[in-house]
Amino acid sequence: MEFNGKTITKKKIILDGNVFIDCDISECVLVYRGGRLPALRDCRINDCQWSFTNSAANTLQFMSAMYNGMGAGGMDLIDKTIANIRDNKLTAASANDEKSEAEPAEESEPAQKAS
């Protein structure tokens, strides 16, 4: 659904798949479930709260677990991810890149030289 030039106040707004253009959004709860990306163009957002649910919440919980439970390497990975978001350098992997049933590759023993 597209919202153009709307003033939205004190509402719970589901963002997934929606388009907001030139809207004033105040004192709202902005809910992202991890579905189709929303578009927010030239909007003014004031005194709102984020709510991440479903797949979006799972992603944040996973990132938090990496940051807090994997030592310096996990912290560095999440810090770089946040820096890429700030610098607008974050790229999304295509669905074809996913291998949901794939196991991590095991390292093979180095080949031994024949004597």
Instruction: Judge if 25 and 4 occupy the same domain.
Output: yes
The answer as to whether 80 is a domain residue is yes
Instruction: Judge if 4 and 28 occupy the same domain.
Output: yes
What does pTM read for this prediction? 0.72
Instruction: Judge if 1 and 32 occupy the same domain.
Output: yes
Based on the structure, what is the number of domains in the chain?
2
DSSP 71-98: HHHHHHHHHHHHHHHHTT---PPPGGG-
pLDDT score, position 94 = 44
The answer as to whether 102 is a domain residue is no
pLDDT over threshold 60, residue 110: no
The answer as to whether 11 is a domain residue is yes
What domain range includes position 32?
1-52
* pLDDT over 90, % of the chain: 75
pLDDT score, position 90 = 78
Block residue for tokens 């579905």: 35
Instruction: Judge if 7 and 29 occupy the same domain.
Output: yes
Instruction: Judge if 24 and 71 occupy the same domain.
Output: no
The answer as to whether 101 is a domain residue is no
| Run of H or E residues at 104 | none
The answer as to whether 74 is a domain residue is yes
Q: What digits encode the pLDDT tens for the residues 39-59?
A: 999 999 999 999 999 999 999
Amino acid (one-letter) located at 104: P
Q: What digits encode the pLDDT tens for the residues 79-104?
A: 999 999 999 987 766 444 455 444 55
pLDDT score, position 93 = 62
Amino acid (one-letter) located at 81: T
